[in-house]
Amino acid sequence: MDSTFEIPACRKLEKFGYKFGQSGAHSARTMMFDELVQLFSSLSDKASKSEYVDAIVESNLLNKPSKKARQLTARHLIDLYSLDISTPIFRVFRQLWERDVDARRLLALCICLARDPLLRGSVDFILKKHAGESIVRAEMEDLLNVHNPDRFSPASLKSFAQNINGTWTNAGYLKGKAYKIRSLPVITPTSITFCLFLGYLEGLSGQRLFNSRWTNLLGLPITELTKLATAAAHRGQIVFMNAGGIKEVRFEGFLTAEEEALLHE
């Protein structure tokens, strides 16, 4: 099981939709889950990036007070999710979103983690907390400062910490408003489908898919992960074979032929 959520920068992963660097959308926003729900409820999973932008900026689908606010909203949503079906992680995320309402919060967290280095830096801290344990904003501020010494002002650290805690709350890992408590997220077979797929994009296969940074997010023993993968296979989301201690997972239709070729270069 990976002990850290650091993802080494890789051009191949960038083509699949990952983002690297030092900052990210959480310097300005949370995961923007409510906006995502409203946006996706009005556009199909085949919508293009330009259709999403037009809906946000020109049609003001998300009811923002000014054109500048609409443009900023579009920019942040693109930063977090890409909103481009030619990007594999967004395309698969968007399809799975339609299949399972209960999985949506965890799906959104996963794609944000793939695309926001600032958020990624908080994973180990959150996962080490036990259910019912309290988390104060100052702890997250200290964590950000350790990862980025003397880079951010106190006001920025406070804002970033609030945004990051807000996303973990939206995803179900924290609860409460000013006073945060570690909680347990809703996990469904669709959750493991996306986690396994992200591991697959990173070059993992077989048993290693069940011991990745992504399945670690679920906080479940291998027996429970196996049950979830079996259920996902029964739903037709993945092909999963498990016999004699050997596991095989296939993601039929997730990637184009060109994307599969890139993956296996």
pLDDT tens-place string over residues 27-59: 999 999 999 999 999 999 999 999 999 999 999
Q: Residue 221 belongs to a domain with what CATH number? A: 1.10.10
- Residue 40 covered by a domain: no
**Whether residue 3 has pLDDT greater than 80:** no
Residue 62 lies in a domain: no
Nearest Cα to 122, choosing from 167, 78, 56, 178?
167
Q: What are phi and psi of 218, to 5 degrees?
A: -80, -20
| Spatial contact of 229 and 238, defined as CB atoms under 8 Å apart | yes
pLDDT, one tens digit per residue, over 66-97 is 999 999 999 999 999 999 999 999 999 999 99
- Residue 257: inside a domain, yes or no? yes
Domain membership of residue 42 (yes or no) is no
Specify if 235 maps to a domain.
yes
pTM for the complete prediction? 0.95
Q: Are 10 and 262 in contact (CB under 8 A)?
A: no
Query: Does residue 71 sit within a domain?
Result: no
Asked if pLDDT for residue 1 goes beyond 50, the answer is no
Residue 101 lies in a domain: no
In a domain, 213, yes or no: yes
pLDDT value, residue 2: 39
Domains of the chain: total: 1
Return mean pLDDT, the chain: 94
Instruction: Count the Cβ atoms, other than its own, within 10 Å of residue 255.
Output: 19
Range of the domain at 235: 189-263
